[in-house]
């Protein structure tokens, strides 16, 4: 192998997604968590949304009104991953549209990030009844959809809001207060755990060291990192 070939191994832009095998039947995907979802199954978010709205891979499929797939730009450099849809999201099919979502938009706006800069989704696409935390089995059943979203968006930065999002994607079980604001690497991608906006609504203080104050430090770090990545071209 020449040194050029070796360097090419590190060129992530040239990683080719393997085509699903010939006996793969995508129509079976929504019926059982045992049916795999190989990388490259979906070519658009709309295509995936059709499956999510039919999906019974976990029990959450039985009680949802709408599967909640995403909002924002598919070309966004930043992906924000929440835990799961709440009541407003279940009713509208759009993630982060309730009070927590409005606060998230304000936080993004404070560092000049718009819908063009972010793609917003959740670990599980259907609402856990009573807004409980999704179970490990539910997160596992839904995970292939999230992996397809990450593949299609190919974000430079992934923000994980709250401990369940961190656990759901990376498997890291540490508490959010311990790891928020830290850059983590997962699957060659830069991730940062941050507080869930709903937590900030329950803790309105802006005093130094408060959750809101810490979120402000974190989002400025994210903005600076994005500027740094963009400057590198
Ligand atoms: S939460 Fe995910 S895996 Fe479970 S039914 Fe909904 S789309 Fe399917």
pLDDT 10s digits, 76-116? 999 999 999 999 999 999 999 999 999 999 999 999 999 99
State the Cα–Cα distance between residues 198 and 201, nearest whole angstrom: 5
Three-state DSSP class for 14?
A: helix
- Closest ligand 1 atom to residue 141 Cα is 3
The Å distance, Cα 155 to ligand 1 centre, comes to: 23
Question: In this predicted model, what pLDDT tens digit does every residue of 147-182 receive, in sequence order?
Answer: 999 999 999 999 999 999 999 999 999 999 999 999
Three-state DSSP class for 79?
A: strand
Between 136-153 and 163-170, two packed helices, what is the crossing angle to 10 degrees? 70
**CB neighbour list of residue 204: distance below 8 Å, 6 or more residues apart:** 212
Whether the Cβ atoms of residue 68 and residue 127 lie closer than 8 Å to each other: yes
Is the CA virtual torsion 120, 122, 128, 131 positive or negative? Answer: negative
Domain ranges of the chain: 30-231
DSSP state of 21: P
Res 65 pLDDT > 90: yes
Which runs of consecutive H residues, i.e. helices, occur in the chain? 3-8, 45-54, 87-92, 99-110, 136-153, 163-170, 176-179, 197-202, 211-231
Paired tokens of 162: 């709250």
Q: Which CATH homologous superfamily contains domain 30-231? A: Uracil-DNA glycosylase-like domain (3.40.470.10)
The Å distance, Cα 142 to ligand 1 centre, comes to: 5
In short, whether 121's Cβ falls inside 6 Å of ligand 1 is no
Question: How much is the pLDDT for 22?
Answer: 73
DSSP state of 84: -
Question: In this predicted model, what pLDDT tens digit does every residue of 183-210 receive, in sequence order?
Answer: 999 999 999 999 999 999 999 999 999 9
Paired tokens of 154: 């190919």
Its pTM stands at 0.91
Distance of CA 68 to the CA centre of its chain: 12
Question: How much is the pLDDT for 134?
Answer: 97
Question: In this predicted model, what pLDDT tens digit does every residue of 5-26 receive, in sequence order?
Answer: 554 544 544 555 666 677 788 9
Question: How much is the pLDDT for 84?
Answer: 97
Whether the Cβ atoms of residue 227 and residue 206 lie closer than 8 Å to each other: no
Q: What are phi and psi of 192, to 5 degrees?
A: -135, 125
In short, whether 55's Cβ falls inside 6 Å of ligand 1 is yes
Question: In this predicted model, what pLDDT tens digit does every residue of 114-147 receive, in sequence order?
Answer: 999 999 999 999 999 999 999 999 999 999 999 9
- For the segment 37-59, the average pLDDT, to the nearest whole number, is 96
The Å distance, Cα 88 to ligand 1 centre, comes to: 17
The Å distance, Cα 124 to ligand 1 centre, comes to: 6
- Closest ligand 1 atom to residue 58 Cα is 4
Question: How much is the pLDDT for 32?
Answer: 92
Nearest alpha carbon, ligand 1 atom 5: 61
Q: What are phi and psi of 186, to 5 degrees?
A: -135, 125
Question: How much is the pLDDT for 12?
Answer: 47
The Å distance, Cα 18 to ligand 1 centre, comes to: 24
State the Cα–Cα distance between residues 122 and 156, nearest whole angstrom: 17
State the Cα–Cα distance between residues 199 and 144, nearest whole angstrom: 27
Buried b (16+ CB within 10 A) or exposed e, 210-227: ebbebbeebbebbbebbe
- For the segment 38-50, the average pLDDT, to the nearest whole number, is 96
């Amino acid at each position: 192998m020449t040194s050029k070939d070796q360097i090419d191994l590190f060129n992530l832009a040239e990683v080719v997604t393997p085509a699903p095998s010939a006996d793969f039947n995508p129509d079976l995907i929504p019926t059982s968590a045992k049916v795999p979802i190989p990388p490259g199954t979906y070519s658009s978010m709309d295509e995936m949304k059709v499956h999510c709205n039919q999906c019974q891979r976990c029990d959450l499929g039985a009680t949802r009104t709408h599967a909640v797939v995403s909002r924002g730009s598919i070309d966004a450099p930043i992906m924000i991953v929440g835990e799961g849809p709440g009541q407003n999201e279940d009713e509208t099919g759009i993630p982060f549209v309730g009070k927590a979502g409005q606060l998230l938009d304000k936080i993004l706006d404070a560092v000049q990030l718009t819908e063009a800069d972010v793609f917003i989704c959740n670990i599980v696409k259907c609402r856990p009844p009573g807004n409980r935390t999704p179970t490990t089995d539910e997160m596992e059943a839904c995970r292939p959809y999230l992996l397809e979203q990450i593949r299609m968006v190919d974000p430079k930065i992934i923000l994980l809001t709250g401990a369940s999002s961190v656990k759901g994607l990376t498997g890291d079980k540490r508490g959010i207060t311990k790891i928020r604001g830290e850059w983590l690497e997962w699957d060659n991608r830069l991730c940062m755990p941050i507080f869930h906006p709903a937590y900030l609504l329950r803790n309105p203080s802006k005093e130094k060291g408060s959750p809101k104050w810490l979120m402000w430090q974190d989002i400025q770090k994210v903005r600076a990192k994005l500027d740094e990545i963009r400057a590198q071209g």
